[in-house]
Amino acid sequence: MTDEELIEGLKAGDDQAAETVVRTHMPRMLAVARRLLGDSALAEDCVQEAFANMFRKIGDFEGRSSLGTWLYGIVANQALMKLRQQTRRREDPIDDLMPEFDTSACRIEAPWQHLSTPEEILDREKRKDLVIDMINKLPPDYRVVLQLRDIEEMSTAEVADALNLTDGNVKVRLHRARSALKSLLEPVLRGEL
Amino acid sequence: MAADQRRPGIMRQMRGAMMKYMPLMITCVEFETFILDYLEGSLPPRQRRIFELHLKMCRECRDYLAAYKATMGVAKRALKDPSDGPPDDAPEDLVKAVLAARER
């Protein structure tokens, strides 16, 4: 069945269409939720809630993105809500991790004598865990944008649609998330860790 | 960051002024605002040339951009290892739970 046929089926309450959509999209939705939440049980709850939302809201689906992209957006939103519940800090700790400039608007950046490649950095399991810990230090609203754009490879417009943001907001959050992560990963990238 | 790092020496002051006032130049602060669009290939040709000129002239921005790109690569590889393959099948109990909840 095509996306259009599945959507029509869902809107008409067709059981076959519902099962096809669930079986087709659940694996990647689970992968998205696991990457964001880092916990399989929480990810399964999240996917279940996302499908419940999807069945409720299918009448509102306008077809601006593919059905899959819409679903990955719903699950990312569910995960974001869970992450926000977990992190109740009100301050914005990302500010200290932004690039620095002097009063002449020149960048302050120590020379990079050594810049490890992703392959060199991730050659050992512990390093991968360390990198994931650093990613998890990003505030949820930034982490979700980084993941949807850079890992799930959704477009800026798709992420904006999924998270109810403007394209401009998505770009700002993505750039801040990458900049903050660069600061967090600096000792690893310089080969100091 | 120490306050004296924010107060540039004479050479950096001159460089900052050159970047700010000379034609076809941008400051590092302006360069920063173009990074995302540059990497997405969505900068208009003239801005792209200006961005790349700054990149040639500024060691700090060159180093910064290399580390920024390396960060993107590391994050992607850590979260989505190419050797992981496609996600597993949908767990049957979860599929049944989702479909049962729909019927209620």
Q: Is the pLDDT at B2 greater than 90, yes or no?
A: no
> Of the candidates A52, A103, A150, which has its C-beta nearest B76's C-beta?
A150
Location of each CATH 1.10.1740.10 domain in chain A: 3-86
pLDDT at position B4, please? 65
What phi, psi does A166 have (nearest 5°)?
-85, 160
Percentage of chain B with pLDDT > 90? Answer: 59
Query: Residues near A78 by Cβ (< 8 Å), separated by ≥ 6?
Result: A33, A46, A47, A49, A50, A53
Using CA coordinates, name the residue in chain A closest to B96. A19
Q: Within A87-124, where are the H helices?
A: 118-121
The answer to whether the CB atoms of A103 and B20 lie below 8 A apart is: no
The interface residues of chain A toward chain B in range 155-174, judged by CB-CB distance below 8 A, are 156, 171, 174
- The DSSP code for B89 is P
Q: Which two tokens stand for residue B97?
A: 């739970």
pLDDT at position A121, please? 80
Q: Which two tokens stand for residue A73?
A: 């957006």
User: Quick one: pLDDT band at residue A61, thresholds 50, 70, 90?
Assistant: confident
3-state secondary structure B43-81: CCHHHHHHHHHHHHHCHHHHHHHHHHHHHHHHHHHHHCC
In this predicted model, what pLDDT tens digit does every residue of A85-136 receive, in sequence order? 877 655 457 888 999 999 999 999 999 888 888 888 887 667 888 999 999 9
In this predicted model, what pLDDT tens digit does every residue of A154-164 receive, in sequence order? 999 999 988 88
In A, which residues are within 8 Å of B63 by CB distance?
109, 111-112
In this predicted model, what pLDDT tens digit does every residue of A8-30 receive, in sequence order? 999 898 999 999 999 999 999 99
Q: Is the pLDDT at B3 greater than 80, yes or no?
A: no
- Assign a CATH topology to domain A3-86: Rna Polymerase Sigma Factor; Chain: A (1.10.1740)
In this predicted model, what pLDDT tens digit does every residue of B34-92 receive, in sequence order? 999 999 999 999 999 999 999 999 999 999 999 999 999 999 999 887 666 667 778 99
> Of the candidates A99, A171, A189, which has its C-beta nearest B71's C-beta?
A189
Q: Kindly report the nearest CA distance between residue B104 and chain A, in angstroms.
A: 11
d(CA A35, CA A19): 24
The answer to whether the CB atoms of A185 and B1 lie below 8 A apart is: no
pLDDT at position A116, please? 83
B79 and chain A: CB distance < 8 Å anywhere?
Answer: yes
Location of each CATH 1.10.10.10 domain in chain A: 93-189
Mutate to test the interface with A, among B36, B40, B74, B76 (most CBs of A within 10 A): B74
Of A43, A73, A87, the closest CA to residue A145 belongs to A73
CATH of domain A93-189: 1.10.10.10
More confident residue, A40 or A175: A175
